[in-house]
A and B are shown apart, each in its own frame.
Chain A
Amino acid sequence: DTEVTQTPKHLVMGMTNKKSLKCEQHMGHRAMYWYKQKAKKPPELMFVYSYEKLSINESVPSRFSPECPNSSLLNLHLHALQPEDSALYLCASSQKEGTSYEQYFGPGTRLTVT
């Protein structure tokens, strides 16, 4: 399996809802990432997990809460979001050893906050 998968594909939520985004990879990658991508803009890094530990949090508001239950799974818990949080949320993974560190991206979850 050489893909990063994400569920759901689309999500519409109200500002008081709690929802979660899920990401899975079975490439043995030990680094996993969450990005936010607005329309016609490049992805912006939100969080990085390395060996299931949070390595980087790019000053993301606490209404976004990441979780890495094991080396293949990455979740993003959402609570009390704002309309401006509507975007495509991308998950990515990469190796941590060896010679190639390129990141492989999932198809994204398109989130709409109403």
Chain B
Amino acid sequence: AQRVTQPEKLLSVFKGAPVELKCNYSYSGSPELFWYVQYSRQRLQLLLRHISRESIKGFTADLNKGETSFHLKKPFAQEEDSAMYYCALLSGAGSYQLTFGKGTKLSVIP
């Protein structure tokens, strides 16, 4: 069975400080991993997907198969980054089953 673990329910950082939101997964095959973000009163939005290896809003995430991790990082946090972040796993190409972690609420202190 697949599982996504986000160990921190809440993460508070000061503006300008580095941010790392942790995500570990458990899946025997080749997963597709995503980070979704939900700003207050806004829809759930795709932030990053591991296959594209891109940087969005200054965030990056690298898939580490050895450690089964997909941590989200940003070198300098901004106040507008405050939101709920969900790590999610899709069990292979064409799969429907998107498994979400419990989410980490990021609070950036001005």
B10 to chain A, nearest CB (A): 10
Q: Are A99 and B51 in contact (CB under 8 A)?
A: yes
Is B95 part of the binding interface, using a Cβ–Cβ cutoff of 8 Å? yes
A interface secondary structure, majority: loop
Contact pick for A42, options B32, B94, B100, CB 8 Å = B100
Q: Specify which chain B residues have a CB less than 8 angstroms from the CB of A48 in the assembled complex.
A: 96
Q: Are A45 and B44 in contact (CB under 8 A)?
A: no
Q: Specify which chain A residues have a CB less than 8 angstroms from the CB of B46 in the assembled complex.
A: 102-104
A42-B103, A100-B51 are contacts. A108–B43 as well, Cβ < 8 Å?
yes
Interface size class of A (residues with CB under 8 A): 20 to 34
Q: Which residues of B contact A (CB under 8 A)?
A: 32, 34, 36, 42-46, 49, 51, 84, 86, 90, 93-98, 100-103, 105
Contact pick for A107, options B43, B94, B96, CB 8 Å = B43
Docked complex: A12-52 residues within 8 A CB-CB of B:
31, 33, 40-43, 45, 48, 50
Is A89 part of the binding interface, using a Cβ–Cβ cutoff of 8 Å? no
Contact pick for A106, options B43, B86, B96, CB 8 Å = B43
* Least CB separation from B98: chain A residue: A103
8 sampled A-B residue pairs with Cβ under 8 A: A40-B103, A42-B101, A42-B102, A42-B103, A45-B96, A55-B96, A103-B46, A105-B43
A42-B101, A101-B32, A105-B43 are contacts. A50–B96 as well, Cβ < 8 Å?
yes
* Least CB separation from A103: chain B residue: B98
Contact pick for B49, options A50, A96, A100, A107, CB 8 Å = A100
